[in-house]
Structure 1
Amino acid sequence: MIDVACDGDLWTICINRPDKANSLTKEMLVTLADTFEAAKDARALILTGEGKVFSAGADLEEARAGLAVDTVWERLSSAVAAVQGLTVAALNGTLAGGAMGMALACDLRIAVPTAKFFYPVMKLGFMPQPSDPVRMAKLIGPSRTKLILMGGQKITADEAFSFGLVDRLIAPEALMDEARAIVQDTLAAKPEIAMGIKELCRR
């Protein structure tokens, strides 16, 4: 349910459970975390999903059994953030709940125009993972972060783009081509220069 491809220095990770809106089980989250940790030295990495939804967040049955508050979410987003190369979340559809964390931890986010973004954690009676509000607020500011996390608002792709939550809106048929095009300069550059620029941007 997690597909991984490595083409030279470019890693592609795809969530492949479209019949369940790419909802994430504990096993899938562990696999994702393991994969991102293995890809720490990747020059470039693209994260995407299969079908019309990027991810609906936690699998509902497992969420009720404790997955919603499992530390694996934080392990995953930390592993995404630790990748040394350029990371791009190519959001093929709606992004919801805890799945937001790994997208927020990527360097860039591109999305199809029909995508929606929401994180109903408070409504469900849970706290978000600690790093998610911090990363979101850095991207879109504290007020808009509260609009999503506390106001429970579902944000359209156009709003997400205007907020700065996503960096480009791309037609579905061109999404992966765009993601690959974005990482080409990084792949062609000297690793120490590309990684040096990323480190400077973190300061």
Structure 2
Amino acid sequence: MERFHRPVRMPIEAFDVFEGAPDPAAVKRVAHDTAHALLNRVHESEDPEVVERTVRYANHNGLDDLVQLWAPAAAQSLPGSLWRLYLVHAAVTQDAANASYLYRRGAEVDVSINHVVAGAVEPTGPAELQSLIETILRGAFTGDFADALDRAAAFCAVMSQGAAAVAESDEHTNPSRASAALRRGARYLDFARDLATSAKLWRVGALD
């Protein structure tokens, strides 16, 4: 029998309204130190259970600890990047059906290679999208970190386009849903830009 665990308490709406906060030097240092320690520990470990616990941390423990620790960090930093990876993972996990719909809408209108870089299996249903986002998060700890950030950035870019498409479709028939989609699309676009920049910084050893 599985042990009872706390659910992810941060609601999905947190993705839409997430804001970083000014971080005092001490809080900043703790955030950066813990991010580096976690990434190094998992990369150096030969125990697959360590990777599994790390990837599923938010599912079992909630995002509360991570939001306190990493959310205030600068967007283009290691803790800021890890926070965004976990938050996007949680957003998909909590509402895979809607997320997969947004992704498909985005892939339909994407004229770039973002949907290719993200690497979702087509047709992209809820299970396929959950598998994709977990692969991306797992890759951050087991593979090339910059590649994982690039895939996450591409994923967010496609989701942004999907949300924009939904907003356009609902503009006259469902204004409130259109407004929510616009906010979510803007958030995904911000994340896409931040993660792509962080990937570039990591490759030159400048992502602290």
Same fold (TM over 0.5): no
> By percentage of residues, which structure has more strand?
1
TM-score normalised by length of structure 1: 0.30
> By percentage of residues, which structure has more helix?
2
TM-score normalised by length of structure 2: 0.30
Q: Which has the higher contact order (CA 8 A, sep 6+)?
A: 2
